[in-house]
Chains A and B, each alone.
Chain A
């Protein structure tokens, strides 16, 4: 079975540019999560969706960050304009919500470097 698929795997861009990260969750999963991982702050939850609807975006650091989930098989995380402090590894995870406690399944992440 295909796992969570993220693209691109690596992104290097200059400060001020728009960055778009993409995620395809596991088929049949109805919850999707975006995390950011840094050495200093560990794994931080940015936002999550249930049935394509954003439920909690309190972890989104600033208005420069936005996320969408137009359908059950695709989500984007956008940073505009990007800044060097946004450099991190961004993970997408999905799970089946509403079937008892279920694990989240992570993609392999996007390593973002803002110069």
Chain B
């Protein structure tokens, strides 16, 4: 079955700097890759997703890149702000199958 790894497990950046979180997956059939942000006391919330027919997607300060050959995808947050502090999860899925989540990255943005 699918296995998703995520690095780093914790990340601290200065406000205004960029943050990058990387995930790798094992099943070459996976074709959907969502990213979730979980704030304290809340459920995971979708922030961006990418499908396997594109290599990059951007939404304001957030971007995701996908390398199907290497089977990895990354989340990029630019101009980080304190409210970006949270736990971020990547996931991989094949059409009709369940999501397999990575273990999460705790991002701290230091003022």
Shortest CB distance A94–B (Å): 11
Interchain CB contact under 8 A, B51 and A101: yes
Q: Contacting B44 at CB < 8 Å: which of A48, A56, A100, A106?
A: A106
Query: A residues 5-63 with Cβ under 8 Å of B?
Result: 33, 42-43, 45, 48, 56
Binary contact readout B41-71 vs A (1 if CB under 8 angstroms, 0 otherwise): 1111110010100000000000000000000
A42-B101, A42-B104 known; A100-B95 Cβ under 8 A = yes
CB contact list, A80-113 vs B, under 8 A: 91, 93, 97, 100-101, 103-109
Q: Does B109 lie at the interface of the complex (its beta carbon under 8 Å from any beta carbon of A)? A: no
Bin chain B's interface residue count: 20 to 34
Residues of the A chain whose Cβ atoms lie less than 8 Å from the Cβ of B46: 103-105
Task: Please state if A108 and B42 are interface contacts (CB–CB under 8 Å).
Answer: yes
Chain B residues positioned under 8 Å from A109 (CB to CB): 42-43
Q: How many residues of A contact B (CB 8 A)?
A: 19
Q: Which residues of A contact B103 (CB under 8 A)?
A: 42
Q: CB distance A103 to B101 under 8 Å?
A: no
Residues from chain B with a CB closer than 8 A to the CB of A48 are 98
The closest CB in chain A to the CB of B32 belongs to: A101
Query: Which residues of A does B touch, CB under 8 Å?
Result: 4, 33, 42-43, 45, 48, 56, 91, 93, 97, 100-101, 103-109
* Sample of 5 more A-B contacts, CB < 8 Å, known A101-B51, A107-B43: A101-B32, A101-B93, A106-B44, A106-B45, A108-B42
